[in-house]
Amino acid sequence: MERIKSAERSDWHKVAQELGFRFHTPGGEPYWREDAYYAFSINEIEDDLENPVAELEQMCFAVVERACRDEEVLERLKIPRNFWDYIQQSWKNRARNLYGRMDFSYSGDGGGPAKLLEYNADTPTALYEAAVFQWRWLEDLQKSGQLPESADQFNSIHETLIEAFEAFGIEGPLHLACEENSEEDLGTIEYLADCAEQAGLSPYLLPISAIGLTDLGGFVDGEDRSIYNLFKLYPWEWIWKDEFAVHLQRSRMKVIEPPWKAILSNKGLLPYLWQLEPGHPNLLPAFFEDAVDTEALGLNFVRKPLFSREGANIEIFEDGCSAETAGGPYGAEGAVVQALSPLPSFDAMHPVMGVWLVASRPVGLGIREDVGRITTDGSRFVPHVILE
Amino acid sequence: MTSIKTASTRKRSGKVTLIAMGAGVSAIAVAALMQGEEKLDAFQFATVDGCITSGEFTEAYCRAQFATAQTEHARVAPRYQTLADCEAEHGPQACQKPPQVSKSEAVQPGGTSDNQAPQHASTGGGLWMPLMVGWMMGRAMGGPVATQPLYTGAKPGTARTAAGASVDAKTGPVSVAKSKAARPPAGRLMARGGFGRTGTSTGMRSFGG
C-alpha cells in the first residue's frame, strides 16, 4: 500500500457536472481529491480487507441472532423497548439489507491486520464517489496513459447495487427519503434511485419530513401516494424518537435498511463482537464503559458514544488521559471504549479504509483521509487502484 | 507479478452508467425521476362476465382478480365527510355509506349496464365512499399493474383509481401510466412531518461517518 502523488485531470470539474456529482467541494473546501491516490496489491485487497469483511459480517449476524434471543443486548444498545419486537421480527422475517460500510485502520502488507473501527450499517454515505466517480477516475487515467491498462480497483459497488435492488422483490414504487438540507445526503439517495431505476423499480425521492400518516395507519408521500417501500437515509435511532415511529410496525411498510440494522450501526456492536471472538485479528478490544477490562483495553483507547456519527463526540485517550476530542451532540445514551489503533500516516494524512458491503457482500473500497486522527465530515475522499 | 486481468477476475464494475443523475434531474421532488412516464398494458373490466368473455383470461383468474379488487376497495376507497363531497368527485348516485348495503345503479367504466359493485360494510363508519364500478388488473399476478378498484370520475367518460388518478372509462385492454397502475394508497391523511424532527434538532446530517 502506497500513497502516490498524481496529476489531477484538467477537466474533472466538468466530468463531475456531467455525472451529477455536486458535493465535491462543499463550502469551498475540496472533498474529492485526486492529487494523490492509494495503490494496493491484489493480496492486500483480498486477504487483508475483502475476506476479513466477509467474515466480520457473519460475526455481525451472530450478534443480531443473539439480540433476538437475549434482550439484554437491546437494553445495552439503548434501543427503546417498544421497538424490540419490530427489530426482532425484521430479522426473523429475513428482511433484506442493502448496504453498509465497515471502516478500518490499515497500513498495508507488513503493517498488521486491518482493525475494524466501526460499522456504518444503517446510513452510510460517501457511496456515490466510491461507486461512480472513483471508477470513472481510473477509466480516465487509463485512457490518458497515467495508469496502466492492467490497473484495477476494488469496486463493483455499482453493479452489485443494481443486482441487489433486483433481488429485493420490491412490489410497487420505491420511495427514497432524506433530510432536505444536505446536498450530500440528497446526492446519495439520487444515486440509489438511479440504481433502483436501472433495476426496474419506480423510484420517488422525497424529504423525510414530507411523509404523511393516514387514518388507516399507512404512510403516504407528499402527493398522498402510499409508501410501501421506503429507503431512508435517516438513522433508526433518530426514527425511534420521531412521532410517527410508533406506527411503523403496524403499517407493514418495508423499510431499507431494515430495522435489525439498528443493532449493527450502534457502537455497542463493537464490545459484542469482541465478546464473540476475543483476540480476533481484525478486532480491537472493546467494552461498554461500565464493564471495562482495563488490562485488555490498555491506556490508549477511544471513547465512542453509542450513537455517534461523523466522528462527533469521539475522544482519544493516551496513557489514560484525554488527548484529542471532537465535539458534537451525542453521548447522552452512554459510550463504549475501544483500544486505540492509530490511523497510519501517509504524507501526513491519516487514511481510513471504508470497505463497502452490498447485500452483505464486500464489494468495494472508498478511502477518506484527514489531517487529524479522527475522521470527520471534514475529511477528503481519495481514489485507489490495485496495481499488482 | 503483474498480470492482465480478464473481465471475470477484475474487481470493478464492467460498466457504470447513470440514467438520471447528471441529466438535469436534481431538485428534491416527488416523482423527480418519473419524467416521460412509461405506459403499461393493463385491462379494465366492470364484471366478471366481461372479463371471461374477453377471451383473454380464465374464469378462475377473472374471479380471483375481482375478489382482490373487492378487498382493495374496502382498504383503499376514498372516504368523504358528506354525500355532496363524494358526488362532487364521482358524480350523482355513485356513492354510498359503507354500512348500508344498497344496490345503486352505479355508472360503469364503458357505460355498460350490469353491476357487480361490491358492497362493503366493514370500514369507514360514518363516511361516504364511492361505489366500485369495475377494476383494473394486469395480465399476470404480481406484475407492475396492481389489481385495484375503479370508481366513476366526475367527468363523463373517465374513471378514477382510489389514488385519484384519472383513467379512461373503458373495458378491455388499456394503456395506463405506470404510477397510476401502482397499488393505491390507503386512508386519509391525518398528519405530516412526524419523521425528521430528531435529525433537525441534533443539527447533524445523517452521514455515516
Least confidently predicted of A33-47, A323-337, B18-32 = B18-32
Q: A159 Cβ partners below 8 Å, 6+ apart? A: B13, B14, B15, B16
Q: Which three-class secondary structure state does DSSP give residue A126?
A: coil
Q: What is the pLDDT of residue B101?
A: 38
Q: What is the pLDDT of residue A330?
A: 64
What is d(CA A237, CA B197) in angstroms, rounded to the nearest whole number? 12
Q: Domain for residue B187, yes or no?
A: no
| B30 contacts A204? CB cut-off 8 A | yes
Q: What is the pLDDT of residue A258?
A: 97
pLDDT (tens digit, 9 = 90+) per residue, B129-138? 899 999 999 9
Distance from CA of A69 to the nearest CA of B (A): 28
Cis, peptide link before residue A46, omega less than 30° from 0 = no
Q: What is the grid cell recorded at A223? A: 402527493
When scoring B195, B198, B201, B202 by the number of chain A Cβ atoms within 10 A, the one with the most, hence best to mutate, is B195
| ipTM here | 0.86
In terms of CA atoms, which chain B residue is nearest residue A240?
B198
Q: Which three-class secondary structure state does DSSP give residue A204?
A: strand
pLDDT (tens digit, 9 = 90+) per residue, A136-178? 999 999 999 999 999 999 999 999 999 999 998 887 789 999 9
Q: What is the pLDDT of residue B208?
A: 42
**pLDDT higher for A188 or B102?**
A188
Q: Domain spans of chain A?
A: 2-265+345-386, 285-339
Q: Domain for residue B203, yes or no?
A: no
Cβ-nearest to A155 among B1, B12, B184? B12
Least confidently predicted of A119-128, A155-164, A180-189 = A180-189
Distance from CA of B36 to the nearest CA of A (A): 13
Q: Domain for residue B163, yes or no?
A: yes
Residue B36 has pLDDT above 60, yes or no: no
The arithmetic mean of pLDDT across residues B40-69, rounded, is 94
Percent of chain B with pLDDT strictly greater than 90: 29
Distance from CA of B75 to the nearest CA of A (A): 8
What value does the mean pLDDT of chain A take? 92
DSSP B40: E
Query: What's the farthest any 2 CA atoms get from each other in chain A?
Result: 62
Which residues 59-98 on chain A approach chain B with CB closer than 8 angstroms? none
Distance from CA of A132 to the nearest CA of B (A): 7
**How many CA atoms are closer than 13 Å to the CA of A9, on its beta-carbon side?**
24
Q: What is the pLDDT of residue B165?
A: 78
Q: What is the grid cell recorded at A91? A: 430479522
| B207 contacts A309? CB cut-off 8 A | yes
Strand bridging mode A254-256 / A174-178:
unpaired
Instruction: Tell me what percent of chain A is helix, strand and coil, each rounded to the nearest 5.
Output: 35, 25, 40
**Interface membership of A241 toward B (CB under 8 Å):** yes
Predicted confidence band of residue B2 (pLDDT cuts 50, 70, 90): very low
**Interface membership of A234 toward B (CB under 8 Å):** yes
Q: What is the grid cell recorded at B15? A: 460498466
Q: What is the grid cell recorded at A124? A: 452510510
Q: Contact B128/B79 with Cβ under 8 angstroms?
A: yes
| B3 contacts A312? CB cut-off 8 A | no
Range of the domain at B131: 39-181
Q: What is the grid cell recorded at A152? A: 484495477
DSSP B12: B
Burial annotation A115-125 (CB, 10 A radius, 16+ → b, else e): bbbbbbbbbbb
Q: Domain for residue B197, yes or no?
A: no
Name chain A contacts of B192, Cβ cutoff 8 Å: 209-213
The arithmetic mean of pLDDT across residues B100-120, rounded, is 34
pLDDT (tens digit, 9 = 90+) per residue, B192-209? 888 988 886 654 444 443
What is d(CA A261, CA B189) in angstroms, rounded to the nearest whole number? 29
Predicted confidence band of residue A310 (pLDDT cuts 50, 70, 90): low
Distance from CA of A102 to the nearest CA of B (A): 10
Q: Contact A109/A43 with Cβ under 8 angstroms?
A: yes
Q: Contact A300/A341 with Cβ under 8 angstroms?
A: no
What value does the mean pLDDT of chain B take? 73
Angle between helices A51-69 and A84-92 (to 10 degrees): 130
- Backbone torsions φ then ψ of A58, nearest 5 degrees: -65, -40
Residue B122 has pLDDT above 90, yes or no: no
What is d(CA A252, CA A27) in angstroms, rounded to the nearest whole number? 40
Q: Domain for residue B112, yes or no?
A: yes
Q: What is the DSSP string of A253-273?
A: -EEES-TTHHHHSSTTHHHHH
**pLDDT higher for A374 or A237?**
A237
Q: What is the pLDDT of residue B125?
A: 47
What is d(CA A95, CA B88) in angstroms, rounded to the nearest whole number? 43
Instruction: Tell me how many domains chain B contains.
Output: 1
Q: What is the pLDDT of residue B188?
A: 67
Name chain A contacts of B11, Cβ cutoff 8 Å: 42, 45, 152-156, 386
pLDDT (tens digit, 9 = 90+) per residue, B68-101? 999 888 878 877 777 887 888 888 889 988 643 3
Residues in chain A: 388
Q: What is the grid cell recorded at A107? A: 497500513
The arithmetic mean of pLDDT across residues A295-307, rounded, is 93
Q: B175 Cβ partners below 8 Å, 6+ apart? A: B39, B40, B41, B42
What is d(CA B131, CA B103) in angstroms, rounded to the nearest whole number? 10
Q: A108 Cβ partners below 8 Å, 6+ apart? A: A1, A2, A40, A44, A344
Residue A89 has pLDDT above 80, yes or no: yes
Q: Domain for residue B201, yes or no?
A: no
Q: What is the grid cell recorded at A221? A: 408521500
Q: Contact A254/A95 with Cβ under 8 angstroms?
A: yes
Strand bridging mode A229-233 / A254-256:
parallel
What is d(CA A87, CA A66) in angstroms, rounded to the nearest whole number? 12
Q: What is the pLDDT of residue A235?
A: 96
Q: What is the DSSP string of A138-166?
A: HHHHHHTTSS-TT-B-SB-HHHHHHHHHH
| Neighbouring C-beta atoms of residue A20, cutoff 10 Å | 21
The arithmetic mean of pLDDT across residues B159-168, rounded, is 84
Q: What is the pLDDT of residue B133?
A: 94
What is d(CA B76, CA A226) in angstroms, rounded to the nearest whole number? 10
Q: Contact B38/A173 with Cβ under 8 angstroms?
A: no
What is d(CA B192, CA A157) in angstroms, rounded to the nearest whole number? 35
Residue A262 has pLDDT above 60, yes or no: yes
Q: What is the pLDDT of residue B26?
A: 40
Distance from CA of B94 to the nearest CA of A (A): 23
For the full predicted model, state whether its pTM sits above 0.80.
no
Q: Domain for residue B159, yes or no?
A: yes
Q: What is the pLDDT of residue A77?
A: 96
Q: Contact B76/B162 with Cβ under 8 angstroms?
A: yes
Q: A339 Cβ partners below 8 Å, 6+ apart? A: A284, A285, A286, A296, A297, A298, A300, A301, A302
Predicted confidence band of residue B29 (pLDDT cuts 50, 70, 90): very low
Cβ-nearest to B192 among A126, A159, A212? A212
Cβ-nearest to A216 among B178, B187, B206? B187
Q: Domain for residue B205, yes or no?
A: no
Strand bridging mode A229-233 / A174-178:
parallel
Cβ-nearest to A224 among B1, B189, B193? B189
Which residues 126-165 on chain A approach chain B with CB closer than 8 angstroms? 126, 131-132, 135-136, 138, 148-150, 152-159
